[in-house]
Structure 1
Amino acid sequence: MSELAFIAIDWGTTNRRAYAIASDGAVIQTLRDDKGVLSVAAGSFVGEVAKIRKRLGDVPVLCAGMVGSTRGWVEAPYAQCPAGIDALVERLVWVEPGRTAIIPGVAQLHGRCDVMRGEEVQVLGAVVSGMAPGDALLCQPGTHSKWVRMKHGQIADFRTAMTGEMFALLRNHSLLGDFLKADVVAGPAFQEGLELATDNHLLSDLFGERAAVVLGQRDVDDTASRVSGLLIGSDVRDQVIAAGGTVYILADQALGALYAAAVTATGARPVMLDSHAAFLAGITAIWDTIDGH
């Protein structure tokens, strides 16, 4: 077995995943739990990392994600676009000198403000590993979907859409809530929502979904899928993807399939990528750059 080199932690808001990574880049062991930053009390991050080292090994640790936010361990100032692996390494925050570092997020400041934390490791990893080319459009669907344009292997520009959060708000806190209880599936109702998105009347079309059920024109069980198609379709069309272009999608299979259908509907080509493999490739490239110095 290869020698343990470092531990990588993808530390999000609600979940955490730690990887013990060997000197040849192989993953020796993985831990996953619900100890996201919101469940860790201020001043307790040192102890949390110590527990992970006790289980995985006493080696350096690289942390990415919301652990570097104002709510996390220590705020890691953003690197600015354009940003590649070297820019992230230059702005590492060593919370335990030589032992534990937090990877900075990336900020977009060119006329429009945007930020990311954690996603930068994935998209750069997708490129350095050859999963995606150095000039590409990558999509990371989720609560806050990221659309990242890569140029010459760097994050050149990106845009965040509150697509997943909007669906959750509609489901839990809106007049549509009682109509959105069913699971979302990539079937005919979802496709109808994608088609509806081409009308560019998002706000009025959302209310129309309720009206159609109340008037007996549509089945309530289809509403969640139609609304999801409307939101995701609007998100994808906002990106103005060229017909025949390619979008590299980093997501789990279920959500990725919805976005792939929406991309296909615009005439572009979706390519599904393994988001976990991309993260590991990115954080290993960061480690190799540190170790090489």
Structure 2
Amino acid sequence: MTDCTLCQYVGSFVRYYAYAWLIGIAVWFLLILATKVGSDGNKFKYYAKYGMIYFATQAFATLLTPISLLRPRNPINARIIATTVAHASTLLPITWELRNARILKETKGAVVMANHQSSMDILGMMVLWGTMRDVISIAKKEMLFIIPFGPAVWLAGVTFINRKNRSSAMKTLDGCKQKMIKKGYKMYLYPEGTRYPERGMLPFKKGGFHTAIQAGVPIVPVVFSHMYFIDAKKYIFKPGHVLINVLEPIPTAGVTKDNLDDLIKRTRDAMLSEYEKLSAEMDANLVDPKWLRTERSRFSIDDGKKSG
């Protein structure tokens, strides 16, 4: 009998794919065990928790590549991966409370801007992904060459941008603008440009605002409360709860470059004010024994009331 070459290739692929899943699951359980070792302030425990987030992101993006191959570059691929990774917060454990979710659900074509506190924001974006639905996620081009993670997330629909080449970057952003205008996608950005673990917010960069004005789409501010349960200086990463509020969209129709600074100030002032309110609410919760004893679901959603 003649051997079926195609059958052999398929068989080898299935076998190695199964091995990859077994290795991934083994590493995952080792990381979970590592998060149980030692007391708060233990470096090993601290980095193991972050390791869970990074490993879940890279492993699931890679292991779910066959799904992405069925429909390359489709935003549904990234949504499936994000939803899978988001469940990692159950094991940390971190719980999330989203308010005014209807704004993220109903707004079509927008630049979503969120405050940026730590690498935990990666998980925060994953938690929101299912509510936002079609999302343009942007990563620096260098990540494309991290094998096999880079090609896997490219297939999943992540957009890579070459920040060192202005003309290339502008061409990439033009493509993103068209997706927002014609397909109603949402672009998710951190206007601070870098992480700020202290309470408050850094000044906002202009890039995302330029994009919103040029595309003529609204800005949707999303504010995360202060992540009190993480202290990088003391290597503390405790269980915690995060409040997230979606603010009313800020229109850009009729806004020009001359009004750019005013648009940035309006957005930052609104986000900073809400951040202070949410963080004050969380401070009050943390001294309330009843609140501390309350059992919470991994992710609770409040759609909020429609105005008018």
TM-score, normalisation: structure 2: 0.28
Structure with higher RCO (Cα < 8 A, 6+ apart) = 2
TM-score, normalisation: structure 1: 0.29
Higher strand share: 1
Higher helix share: 2
